[in-house]
Amino acid sequence: MSATERSLQNGLPAAGAFEVQTSTGEASAIHAEQLCRHYRMGDTLIRAVDGVTLTVGAGEFVALLGSSGSGKSSVLNLIAGLDRPTSGSVIVQGRDLAQLSREELSKYRLRTVGMVFQSFNLIPSMTLLENVELPMRFAEVDRGKRDSLAHEALSRVGLQARMSHRPSELSGGEQQRAALARALINHPRLLLADEPTGNLDSHTGVEIMNLVREFNRQLGMTVVMVTHERALAERYAQRLIFLADGKLIGEEVNSAAAGQTGASHAIRDGARP
Ligand code: ADP
Ligand code: MG
């Protein structure tokens, strides 16, 4: 049953048929409804995601927190369209991912979502420039345009001098910056980050997080970041969402970072020394 059918049965408006208010008071970018991802391993059923209902506002920066195995990556992968739910629904930018064909889903991954991972996931045999323009090759963007967009994205993350290097010639922080440039290349509305600082020292982690925040504030990207580090979440995210055993167990609006979104703040922050 689709979310719409279920909602109609319950006598409620369909999810996505109305705008859900969130901590920034903006329209919803993501709405998950009773989301489940269960894995069958022999005789046991692993409930990696077990009935998660969650809304993220457009332009919001949220952190998904929880201990190892709590289901954070599984939730993120469902939002990313890398995996499909066992039941329940995910609606992103008004599109119910469960209703998309394989082709539509790969287009969605290409155009709507940018993703970064703990392990960077760059292709070792390719230069940074080639790595960053790869998504645009899939999107069949012509070479000249690809090249200029990849240059622009790499410059944005401060790697203009490293474009012809291969990942192994770079530090972890530089590799993650390249991964951010790759995530940014198709101008996605949504940035999904799975433990983006997990392999970095704390100083480099802060540099990466400052870039993520810049994308959120200056480009208006919605950010969902998975982390198990509460201090990191409190420093950057407007809302903290806690998971345990595949379930949402709590939520906190982070007043220190809440409401700090949009261009006016970017300008205000830019004016600071
Ligand atoms: P987290 O990111 O919070 O550490 P995960 O989402 O990776 O947690 O995993 C949640 C649970 O689901 C864990 O118990 C994990 O072992 C299990 N799990 C994740 N992926 C699979 C899979 N492909 N097959 C079987 N079990 C899985
Ligand atoms: Mg994980």
Domains of the chain (ranges; CATH) run: 3-112+188-271 (3.40.50.300), 122-187 (no CATH)
Q: DSSP state, 24?
A: T
Q: Which residues pair with 192 in a beta bridge?
A: 115, 224
pLDDT of residue 259: 56
Residue 131 has pLDDT above 80, yes or no: yes
Task: Give the span between the Cα atoms of 248 and 243, in whole angstroms.
Answer: 5
Distance (angstroms) between ligand 2 centre and the Cα of 136 equals 27
Please report which ligand is nearest the Cα atom of 77: 1
Q: pLDDT tens-digit profile of 151-178? A: 999 999 999 999 999 999 999 999 999 9
Whether residue 55 has its Cβ less than 6 Å from ligand 1: no
Distance (angstroms) between ligand 1 centre and the Cα of 83 equals 12
Q: Which atom of ligand 1 is nearest to the CA of 195?
A: 2
Distance (angstroms) between ligand 2 centre and the Cα of 40 equals 19
55, containing H or E segment: strand 44-57
pTM of the model: 0.86
**Which residue's CA is minimally distant from atom 5 of ligand 1?**
71
pLDDT of residue 6: 42
Q: Which atom of ligand 1 is nearest to the CA of 243?
A: 3
Task: Give the span between the Cα atoms of 167 and 272, in whole angstroms.
Answer: 34
63, containing H or E segment: strand 61-65
Q: pLDDT tens-digit profile of 246-268? A: 999 999 999 888 755 443 333 33
